[in-house]
Structure 1
Amino acid sequence: MFMQGTGPLQMTTPASIEQKALFYRGRPVGVSLRNGQGVSGILCSVQGGQIYLIQYLYATQFATFHYGYNEIADNLPYPSC
């Protein structure tokens, strides 16, 4: 898990949605939404309190969707094969 801390005796706290999204920009990610759904795609951009994912639709079609930080429970990178 991506964690941050201030020293060896300090408790670590999970990184914010924004920090993680900035770190994972350009990578395939899975996003858990607060409504219980999940989405996945390439994290293209992080701006204005939102993340932008390019997601596969069907056949040869892709679309960019955006999700506000307040809609997101967590975002995680895809593991390697």
Structure 2
Amino acid sequence: MPWQQKIPYLINQPIGVSFLDGTGASGVLCGASSGKLLVIKYLYQAQFALMQYDMYTIQDIHEFPPCPDQQPLY
């Protein structure tokens, strides 16, 4: 499935974004608007930023996998 078709299913989910230049980013997908993918990214402490990535720079988007079943460490 082309990554553009994944957008409605991944809104409000953690995603990884791979770009055509070989770099990547991760955050929570907020949606898409005016040719941009909108992703909230953690910066530091309690600060977050809404990033706007041009769609023509994106190779693919992937949802985060679930955590493996493990015994709690606490």
Task: Identify whether the pair has TM-score above 0.5, normalized to the shorter chain.
Answer: yes
Q: Unaligned regions of 5+ residues in structure 2, if any?
A: 68-74
Partner of 2:10: 24
Paired-residue identity, %? 37
User: TM-score normalized by structure 2?
Assistant: 0.82
Contact 1:17–1:69 (8 Å) recurs in 2: no
Partner of 1:55: 41
Q: Give me the whole-angstrom Cα distance separating, in 2, the residues matched to 1:67 and 1:22.
A: 17
| Segments of 4+ moved more than 2 angstroms | none
Q: What value does the CA root-mean-square deviation take over the aligned residues? A: 1.0
Q: Give me the whole-angstrom Cα distance separating, in 1, the residues matched to 2:23 and 2:63.
A: 17
Partner of 2:20: 34
SS at match of 2:22: coil
User: TM-score normalized by structure 1?
Assistant: 0.76
Q: Unaligned regions of 5+ residues in structure 1, if any?
A: 1-14
SS at match of 1:19: helix
Q: Give me the whole-angstrom Cα distance separating, in 2, the residues matched to 1:58 and 1:64.
A: 14
